[in-house]
């Protein structure tokens, strides 16, 4: 079955190369019994891929069971997955089969697998390696023939570093990885998906179908979509119900888009373990820290020149630091002009120094556009005009970099 037929059968919309690649891997691995790990952000549609794998496999006539590991309480998840014997714990009034026993001969989809407790991870690893498991409260091993497909919106290698996920289980699950692209990485598909949702809601609520003006389409495609397809569906439904006028322009559309990152802008950033800043907050923080450091440096220089006794060392220090300070592109300060009076550094007949006086702190520009333009120019200079390398340095796509270069008229 080709990719286009799969899209029609499972209601998948879009022609993004990243999406097509994920579908291609799913179809190729479906005919095997290899374990698959699906990764991607929340709302990208990861739950569709296990169904594709199951329906295209030799197990399609067996049971397909989807389990949300994050929605089951830690105290009962072992019983849910592997079953229990009568009287094995309080409330176990009768024996019960678990999902791995019920799904024998079929496929089990473990969504949010990174949420499994460590003790359950050990049990799951045993099933993957030997095809055996024990019911809770039983010492008898039970055989099962189950195809396991797992998914997670958490970066599991980071969970391993924190001790929340077993490394050996990750390697066992990650036999075949499939990465589902975020909606922001499928810009060419966003309007198509919106139109599909708009048509569905028009039919459901018996109303005219929404239409977007050209400026609204641009806003739709450039929005960050942190909630991905799920968020786009919710926004489309809200507009369909609330707006009486069915031709939607950018002004109306923006009213339904929440505050937050609206586009992919190049920013300076530093990896944060516990704190999360928006792009604007992070850029302001960097600029203010630079200004604070420069002010402290100036104070040190002035104190050194006023209190020091080694004239030659002071002269060298002054020359170096003043040059560094005024050559700094962030500090928009004029170069020093000759002073009207001299400094006597040693309070005796030492050599007088002209042309240096205490500098005045000049507020630097905090325009985000100017800083963005400066960062793009520096990245291009650093990589000798190679736009792909510059885009990687800035953490943006080549398409975004081309647009910014044209917008700012950077040569």
- Domain boundary residue among 254, 284, 316? 254
Which tops the pLDDT comparison, 6 or 343? Answer: 6
- Domain boundary residue among 254, 285, 302? 254
Beta partners for 109? 66, 149
pLDDT band at 160 (very low <50, low <70, confident <90, very high): very high
| Residues 6+ away with beta carbon under 8 Å from 376 | 266, 390, 394, 401, 404, 405, 408, 410
pLDDT tens digits, 112-121: 999 999 999 9
Q: Are residues 167 and 189 in the same domain?
A: no
Which residue range(s) make up the domain with 199?
Answer: 184-254
Q: Are residues 76 and 176 in the same domain?
A: yes
Please tell me which of 240-249, 267-276, 280-289 the model is most confident about, judged by mean pLDDT.
240-249
> Domain with 213 in it: what CATH number?
1.10.8.60
Q: Are residues 24 and 78 in the same domain?
A: yes
Q: Which of 51-55, 76-80, 301-305 has the lowest mean pLDDT?
A: 301-305
Q: Across all residues in the chain, what is the average pLDDT? A: 83
Q: Are residues 322 and 391 in the same domain?
A: no
Distances in Å between the Cα of 160 and the Cα atoms of 110, 166, 171, 178, 260 are 18, 6, 11, 19, 30
What is the pLDDT, as a whole number, of residue 347?
46
Domain for residue 356, yes or no? no
pLDDT band at 149 (very low <50, low <70, confident <90, very high): very high
In the predicted model, what is the mean pLDDT of residues 116-140? 95
Q: Which of 175, 42, 171 is nearest to 111 (CA)?
A: 42
Strands (E), 173-235: 176-179, 211-212
> Domain with 171 in it: what CATH number?
3.40.50.300
pLDDT band at 91 (very low <50, low <70, confident <90, very high): confident
Q: Which of 2-6, 294-298, 322-326 has the lowest mean pLDDT?
A: 322-326
Domain for residue 228, yes or no? yes
Q: Are residues 303 and 403 in the same domain?
A: no
Domain for residue 343, yes or no? no
Q: Are residues 238 and 303 in the same domain?
A: no
> Domain with 380 in it: what CATH number?
1.10.10
In the predicted model, what is the mean pLDDT of residues 73-81? 93
Q: Which of 330, 326, 327 is nearest to 375 (CA)?
A: 330
Q: Are residues 85 and 144 in the same domain?
A: yes
Q: Are residues 195 and 311 in the same domain?
A: no
- Domain boundary residue among 233, 254, 275? 254
pLDDT band at 292 (very low <50, low <70, confident <90, very high): confident
Q: How far apart are the first and last CA of the chain?
A: 48
Q: Are residues 210 and 80 in the same domain?
A: no
Whole-angstrom distance, CA of residue 114 vs CA of residue 166: 10
Q: Are residues 214 and 235 in the same domain?
A: yes
Q: Are residues 123 and 241 in the same domain?
A: no
Query: Is 70 exceeded by the pLDDT of residue 325?
Result: no
pTM, 2 dp = 0.64
What is the pLDDT, as a whole number, of residue 335?
46
Query: Is 70 exceeded by the pLDDT of residue 301?
Result: no
What is the pLDDT, as a whole number, of residue 225?
97
Which tops the pLDDT comparison, 317 or 66? Answer: 66
Q: Are residues 14 and 105 in the same domain?
A: yes
What is the pLDDT, as a whole number, of residue 372?
81
Domain for residue 375, yes or no? yes
Domain for residue 312, yes or no? yes
Count structural domains, the chain.
4
Domain for residue 359, yes or no? no
């Amino acid at each position: 079955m080709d990719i286009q037929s799969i899209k029609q059968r499972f209601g998948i919309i879009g022609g993004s190369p990243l999406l097509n690649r994920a579908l291609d891997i799913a179809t190729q691995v479906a005919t095997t019994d290899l374990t698959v790990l699906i990764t991607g952000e929340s709302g990208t549609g990861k739950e569709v891929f296990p169904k594709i794998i199951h329906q295209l496999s030799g197990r399609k006539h067996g049971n397909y069971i989807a389990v949300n590991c994050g929605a089951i309480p830690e105290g009962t998840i072992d019983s849910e997955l592997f079953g229990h014997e009568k009287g094995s714990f309080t409330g176990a009034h009768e024996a019960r089969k678990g999902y791995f026993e019920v799904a024998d001969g079929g496929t089990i989809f473990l969504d949010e697998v990174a949420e499994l407790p460590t003790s359950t991870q050990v049990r799951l690893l045993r099933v993957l390696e030997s095809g055996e498991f024990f019911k809770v409260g039983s010492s008898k091993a039970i055989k099962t023939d189950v195809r396991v497909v797992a998914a997670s919106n958490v970066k599991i290698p980071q969970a391993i570093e924190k001790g929340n996920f077993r490394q050996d289980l990750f390697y066992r699950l990650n036999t075949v990885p499939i990465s589902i692209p975020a909606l922001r990485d499928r810009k060419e598909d966003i309007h198509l998906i919106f139109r599909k949702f708009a048509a569905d809601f028009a039919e459901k609520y018996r109303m005219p179908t929404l239409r977007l003006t050209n400026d609204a389409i641009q806003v739709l495609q450039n929005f960050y979509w942190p909630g991905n397809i799920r968020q786009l569906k919710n926004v489309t439904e809200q507009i369909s119900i609330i707006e009486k006028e069915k031709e939607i322009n950018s002004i109306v559309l923006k009213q339904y888009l929440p505050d937050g990152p609206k586009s992919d802008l190049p920013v300076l950033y530093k990896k944060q373990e516990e704190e999360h800043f928006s792009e604007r907050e992070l850029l302001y923080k960097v600029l203010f820290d630079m200004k604070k450091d420069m002010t402290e440096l100036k104070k040190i220089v002035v104190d050194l020149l006023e209190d020091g006794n080694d004239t030659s060392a002071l002269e060298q220090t002054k020359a170096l630091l003043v040059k560094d300070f005024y050559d700094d592109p962030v500090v928009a300060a004029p170069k020093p002009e000759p002073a009207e009076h001299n400094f006597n550094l040693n309070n005796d007949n030492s050599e007088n120094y002209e042309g240096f006086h205490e500098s005045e702190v000049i507020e630097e520009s905090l325009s985000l556009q100017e800083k963005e333009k400066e960062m793009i120019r520096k990245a291009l200079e650093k990589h000798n005009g190679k736009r792909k390398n510059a885009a990687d340095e800035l953490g943006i796509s080549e398409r975004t970099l081309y647009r910014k270069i044209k917008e700012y008229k950077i040569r």
